[in-house]
Amino acid sequence: MLAKRIIPCLDIKNGRTVKGVNFLGLRDAGDPVELATRYSMEGADELVFLDITATNEKRKTLVQLVREIARNISIPFTVGGGIQSVDEIEDLLHAGADKVSLNSSIVRDPELISRSAARFGSQCIVAAIDARSHGDNWNVYIKAGTVDTGKNVLEWCRDVARYGAGEILLTSMDRDGTKSGFDNHLLSKVAESVSIPLIASGGAGTIEHCIDAVTSGHADAILAASIFHFREIEIGDLKQAMARAGIPVRLVA
Partner 1 sequence: MIAIINYKAGNLASVSNALERLGAPHVITSELDALESADAIIFPGVGHAQAAMQSLHENNLAGWLRQTKKPLLGICLGMQLFFESSDEGDTECLGIIPGRLRLFDNANVKVPHMGWNHFSSVGNHPLLAGIDEKDYFYYVHGYYAPVTEYTIATCHYDAGFSSVVARDNFTGVQFHPEKSGANGVKLLQNFLEFAGAQTGPKNKLII
Catalytic residues: 11, 130
Which is closer to partner 1, CB of 104 or CB of 116? 116
Helix axes 111-120, 86-95, angle to 10 degrees: 40
Q: Distance between CA atoms of 247 and 43, rounded to whole angstroms?
A: 16
Q: Distance between CA atoms of 50 and 180, rounded to whole angstroms?
A: 23
Shortest Å distance, C-beta 144 to partner 1: 27
In the chain, helix, strand, coil percent, each to 5?
40, 25, 40
Contact set with partner 1 (CB under 8 A)? 1-3, 5, 40, 45, 70-71, 74-76, 94-96, 98, 120-123, 166-167, 195-197, 220-221, 250, 252
Shortest Å distance, C-beta 142 to partner 1: 26
Shortest Å distance, C-beta 195 to partner 1: 6
DSSP state of 124: G
Say which amino acid occupies 198.
Answer: L
Q: Is 68 exposed, middle or buried (0-12, 13-18, 19+ CB in 10 A)?
A: middle
Based on C-alpha coordinates, what's the Rg of the chain?
17
Exposure on the CB side of residue 11, measured as CA atoms within 13 A: 13
Shortest Å distance, C-beta 226 to partner 1: 24
